[in-house]
Structure 1
Amino acid sequence: MREAPQPPCSPPRPGRPRRTPRNGRCRPGCGVRDRSEGPRRRSTGGSPEAPIPYRDLVRDERRPTKLEGNEKVAALKGTHLVLGSLSATVPKIRPVRATIRRNALPLRLVWSLQLKGVAIVGLGGYAAQHHAAFERLEAAGLCQVVATCDPVLDSARVPTYRSLDEMLGRHANELDVVTLPVPVPLHAPMHRQVVDMGLACYLEKPPTLWWPEYEAMMAVESRAVRPTQVGFNFIGDPFRQGIKARIDAGEFGKLKDASLLAVWPRDDKYYARASWAGRKTLSGKPVLDNPLGNAMAHHVQNLLFLSGANEIVEVRARLLRAHPIESFDTAFVSAQLPSGVELRFAATHADSGAHFERETLTFENAKVVFTAWNRAEIHRDGNVEHLVSEIPNHGAMLEHNLAAYLDGIAPTPLSACGPFVSLIDLAFLSSGGVQPIAPSRITQRDGKVSVDGLFDDLNAFAEDGIWPAAPGPSVTPEALFTLQPDRLLADWT
């Protein structure tokens, strides 16, 4: 039997790569390489050179280059995803960014093919983790860290400036992304500066804890060139995204309720580390620092994400403090979704024992329990399915999310943070004020405090909705429009 003739490959067209048949091979003598062959440096003669990874080509080549193969792969280290097969003609690869014909590829793919110019605001604290992650991403050829700024510290790797203004003034035309691992009170003004310079912004969590400020940030965001990503890192983990997909597919039935139980001990040094720590206001401006909004914010957002909470319709809360601070360190909060599902948040920093957290979602046909940020159990029909994230630690998680943002992906854009911010403010409003825990229940040791019987109270509330004492009245989102900064200390003491 004669073989069916293979279709010829398409002739080359200006600005477009040569196409091959679906099986990836052309007829003998055609001269077009197999799909499995990677891009090669153009040779002037002799035997062909070995294929090179696309990331190496981006990092090393600084001249007009045509990528001829179909496997144009930007391989990320470790747990990162790999860009699939792309076909594109990339004109000049510049030291910082590449320019690609506007109609050559979809916008996100165009963005992903560019070598990103990155600036990091800050050097100390959590900013050091950003520098470490970007150093690895830079070694993989996915970005170039152009500059940083810090009022005190200096970087040994890149130019350092004393302010964001100065850094943007010197390097804005070399940048694509600016990351803001800075104190929460600086988020809104720095986000505005970055967006107004036409740059993409990666903003650490929480974006803000004050609803009027969030609305102002969203007004700024409306003119952003790309959605701002907020650093709720766990949301971007494929492990958690996979569970979310199963929930949305209806595998477990309808959601009945969900809860967070979190005990994260914090000592006096934690509240002394920054002028805004444990405060409700700073220099007359709202801060509202608290466990749910800051240290445990990842887990609060996890629960909102997994439960599909696009809106909070009602909140009741009881907020307490054992540490000598303005804000609360212990919370009992109930939030109702439009579907009638109740979310319960039970959290404290007032403990001297071990770190503990548990996210629980109860469905009609199963119970999903996150026993840690990277581990989950699915209880169904007497069986337990154990799931573990492939991302090994928090540093790798941050690197994964930063790499995704460089690739044009924002798992938790600023626009998705409305329920989170409203939850915090409505809890303050419902509580009627932060109540001190009775001194007779408090034990102090080594700068830490613990409260007699508190874990049992928190667990009873998270599991069964049993309040330790009467909560404040129910409040709805309409109350957010009555927020006034000058009433924070007077009404919420």
Structure 2
Amino acid sequence: MKLKGAIIGVSGYGNVHYTDLMRCCKEGLMEFVGATVINRDVEQEKCAVLESMGCKIYDNYKVMLDELSGKIDFCTIPTGILYHKEMTVYALQKHINVLVEKPAAPDMESINAMKLAEKESGCFACVGFQYNYHKTTRDLKELLLSGELGAVKRLKGYCLWPRNNQYYSRNGWSGKLFSNGLPVFDAPFSNATAHYLMLLLYFGGSIQEKGAMPVKVEGGLWRANPDIESCDTAELHYTLDNGLMLDYYCSHSCDDNQGPFLRIICEKGEVNWTLSKITVKTESGEREIPVITDPFGSREEMWHALFDRVSGKQSFITDLDLAACHTKAVDLAFKSLSIEKPESVQIIHNEDKTFRYVIPGFSKNAIEQVEK
């Protein structure tokens, strides 16, 4: 029997969810029953396709969830960060399972409200940190827990992804701390590179299903781009609840694309993680763990885990407790550290007439500190 699903938003990153789930529809795994599209004039083609499948189009997500309560198995929420809490809570209150895009929420107050709604609903909410769902990720976590490499001693990582000035004009909340009176805390470590900070927190956890919770942070936040409210560069040194240290460097105002690169240092070896391969280093040599890619851009296992859980089967999901480790990391950073102006900033003009800002030396230092 096909699962019945709904989606809130099909533009922006919503297009990724829409495309993935349309593939699932074609494979006979599910069917779309409802879709909230507030910009139908822009998304006429998608609306026509959905309606041809028997899916009803709504212009208000609350009306959709009110009408579909008890009639659908799940709703996916690929909307802006500032809407995650209110939409997830509303869906859960209507007894609808949820997959909300990462990050789960900008602050702990928001995610705690989501967890309470989940508890009261009897349904579940999971979060779109797709790399967490990979079998290779869980296999690596199992290796770390097995004792073969000894105890984990330190976690390090960097992700340096330059973004031009147009990146921050793609929606109304990019680069903001608050929007419409709601917290956003948009930053490289909360949004674009959030997956990799989340992975480090997951690998630091003491059991398979859990991550490590940050309790303290030191470091720095910088704003090279004067047109944004938030930071575009961060150096974060977290103390975790199990005593481990986690170092994470990220920037959108950097020289060029570098990473993601994660390093897990253990008593008897270490693990180096990249998007293309995972290398395990021990005294006896090195070996690689193959990284399996899929046509969903690494999201296939996430959707299958959602469908299995909705169907009553056991499956690993990034639940709100696990996602809260990342939310706490973001919350701590913005409440503990001030956003500073870098001592030096360069402006790089691109051939397409866009431009970007660069903090000289940040990339070099980040790579040295993680890889040394």
TM-score (norm: length of structure 2): 0.89
Residues 217-271 of structure 1: CA distance to partner in whole angstroms, max 9, x if unpaired? Answer: 2221212333211001001101111111111111110011011111011111111
CA distance in 2, matches of 1:404, 1:424: 26
What is the correspondence of 1:138-287 to structure 2 with a 5 Å cutoff?
138-153=25-40, 154=44, 155-158=47-50, 159-287=56-184
Counterpart for residue 370 of structure 1: 273
Distance change >3 Å, CA 304–CA 449, structure 1 → 2: same
Counterpart for residue 231 of structure 2: 328
Counterpart for residue 454 of structure 1: 362
Offset at residue 173 of structure 1 (A): 3.5
Question: Quick check: 1:342 aligned with 2:245?
Answer: yes
> SS at the partner of 1:265?
coil
Counterpart for residue 361 of structure 1: 264
CA distance in 2, matches of 1:422, 1:151: 31
Counterpart for residue 312 of structure 1: 214
Distance change >3 Å, CA 224–CA 416, structure 1 → 2: farther
CA distance in 2, matches of 1:320, 1:282: 20
Contact 1:119 1:178 in 2 (8 A): yes
Offset at residue 410 of structure 1 (A): 4.6
User: 2:281 aligned to 379, 383, 406, which one?
Assistant: 379
Offset at residue 355 of structure 1 (A): 4.5
Counterpart for residue 430 of structure 1: 336
Residues 357-414 of structure 1: CA distance to partner in whole angstroms, max 9, x if unpaired? Answer: 1010000111100122x42111112522122222235x24223211211111352101
Contact 1:200 1:224 in 2 (8 A): no
Question: Quick check: 1:405 aligned with 2:313?
Answer: no
Contact 2:105 2:111 in 1 (8 A): yes
Amino acid at match of 2:23: R
Contact 2:268 2:282 in 1 (8 A): yes
Distance change >3 Å, CA 254–CA 331, structure 1 → 2: same
Distance change >3 Å, CA 339–CA 194, structure 1 → 2: closer
Where do 5+ consecutive residues of structure 1 fail to align? 1-57, 59-114, 465-493
CA distance in 2, matches of 1:127, 1:140: 20
Offset at residue 462 of structure 1 (A): 2.9
CA distance in 1, matches of 2:18, 2:186: 25
> SS at the partner of 1:145?
strand
CA distance in 2, matches of 1:400, 1:313: 31
> SS at the partner of 1:125?
coil
> SS at the partner of 2:25?
helix
RMSD of aligned residue pairs (Cα, Å)? 1.7
> SS at the partner of 2:16?
helix
Amino acid at match of 1:449: Y
Offset at residue 311 of structure 1 (A): 2.3
Residues 439-461 of structure 1: CA distance to partner in whole angstroms, max 9, x if unpaired? Answer: x4423323222222111222244
Where do 5+ consecutive residues of structure 2 fail to align? 51-55, 206-210, 310-314
Count of aligned pairs: 347
Counterpart for residue 348 of structure 2: 444
Contact 2:104 2:324 in 1 (8 A): no
Amino acid at match of 2:348: Q
Contact 1:150 1:160 in 2 (8 A): yes
Contact 1:252 1:363 in 2 (8 A): yes
Offset at residue 341 of structure 1 (A): 1.5
> SS at the partner of 1:271?
helix
Contact 2:255 2:360 in 1 (8 A): no
CA distance in 2, matches of 1:212, 1:169: 25
Offset at residue 343 of structure 1 (A): 0.3
Offset at residue 207 of structure 1 (A): 1.0
Counterpart for residue 312 of structure 2: none
Amino acid at match of 1:366: G
Contact 1:227 1:410 in 2 (8 A): no
Contact 1:200 1:225 in 2 (8 A): no
- Choose 1 or 2 for highest CA Rg: 1
CA distance in 2, matches of 1:219, 1:252: 38
CA distance in 1, matches of 2:115, 2:123: 13
> SS at the partner of 1:261?
strand
Counterpart for residue 5 of structure 2: 118
Contact 1:351 1:450 in 2 (8 A): yes
> SS at the partner of 1:390?
coil
Distance change >3 Å, CA 419–CA 171, structure 1 → 2: closer
> SS at the partner of 2:235?
strand
